[in-house]
Amino acid sequence: MWFSTFIFRNISRRPLRSLLTVFAIAIAIGSVVAFVGIANGFEHTFLSLYENVEVDILVLRSGANERGKMVLPEEMTKDLRAIPGVKHVLPALMDMIDFSKYGVDTVLINGFTPGSAVFNHMEMIKGENLEPNDGYVVIIGPILASNINKKVGDKLDIMGKDYTIKGIYEAHNRFENAGMVVPLKVLQKESAKEKQVTGFSLILDTPNDPALVAKVQRDIETKWKKIAALSVREHVKSIAEINLAKSMAWITSAIALVIGFFGILNTMVMSVSERTREIGILRAVGWKVSRVIRMVLIEAVFLSILGALAGTLGAIGLLRLLTHMPRVNGFIDGRIDPLLIAYGFLIAIGVGLLAGLFPANRAARMLPTEALRHE
């Protein structure tokens, strides 16, 4: 009998127990791939939100934790534009609003100045774009339009005011496609933040120039106190909600991995115990200690790999399902980084090896004479 055939027979001897073990590992690895994938998706989505507009620096108020205090005076626009190396200054007011009346929990609302460079990456697929003299009109992304079943010309209740949907745009970012844009002056008025903005996006004369970015950052932070001038990556890395999501994802995954570890450990200990006489026979006919250890470890790793495969497929299916649910599809990126999948399989192999060490050592220490007398 081939060594691999022998291992497969050992695993399939107790099919229900093996399936339950695979299921436990599938939950563990599926948690890693799904939860960490979602958290990484948040980070990727926010990063592309700015990179698609070719933003180099974000100017924000530092040290403010309350949403109402995270604003800056709009009049800073002229001073920022005067800094050497700055090509465009894009003031913006952003907020998350409750849209449960339309079957969507929260929606990103952006207040931009009509005609500014921030609109360059938005392609109007229906209707028209915002214009400088527009009032209570809104343009929405295709995901939001589908979620709330609205079209150009329909009315939309935003914070107690009726807005007319002027157009539907498509951006290269899922978060934007699930959001909306209104004229900056209108959002400032309705949010009681007149002449205030959440921050400024700066586009420099030379894109992707680290030296110029560093120089402009120094100039801004020297001129204004309590102002943070961050690169796009620095800003995204500093977002507390994203960091919390990533931490919670790994903590939840770690708990699931511990459960999976003990699942494999229990299965392999019971398997070795039930095959004590069989292992004694194998030792008696010439099997070396190393081969017995290898047999048990390969069985544990094989179960882990099966679990990783099932968990990964389940995680991919879950994310695909979430991207079709209106309440969350604007926040969930259905793509999973292949590197994360590779990490999942490596973690599964590591868990299998660790869980198999104790039963493998136990099997290797059996003396053939004692094992043969085992009933």
Q: What is the pLDDT of residues 128-178, one digit of tens each?
A: 999 989 999 999 999 899 889 999 999 999 988 999 999 999 887 777 888
| pLDDT the model gives residue 6 | 66
Alpha-carbon span 84 to 146, nearest angstrom: 43
| pLDDT the model gives residue 209 | 84
Facing residues of 229 across strands? Answer: 59
**CA-based nearest residue to 62, from 191, 234, 241, 213:** 234
User: Which residues, in sequence order, are CB contacts of 205 under 8 Å at separation 6+?
Assistant: 85, 86, 87, 212
**CA-based nearest residue to 106, from 239, 198, 197, 241:** 241
The pTM of the whole model exceeds 0.85? no
| pLDDT the model gives residue 291 | 81
Q: Are strands 180-183 and 104-112 parallel, antiparallel or unpaired?
A: parallel
Which residue ranges in the chain fall short of pLDDT 70? 1-6, 48-49, 51-52, 63-69, 239-241, 325-334, 366-375
Alpha-carbon span 72 to 86, nearest angstrom: 18
**CA-based nearest residue to 36, from 341, 259, 327:** 341
Write the DSSP assignment of 137-181 as a string of letters: EEEE-HHHHHHHT--TT-EEEETTEEEEEEEEEE-S-HHHHTSEE
| pLDDT the model gives residue 65 | 45
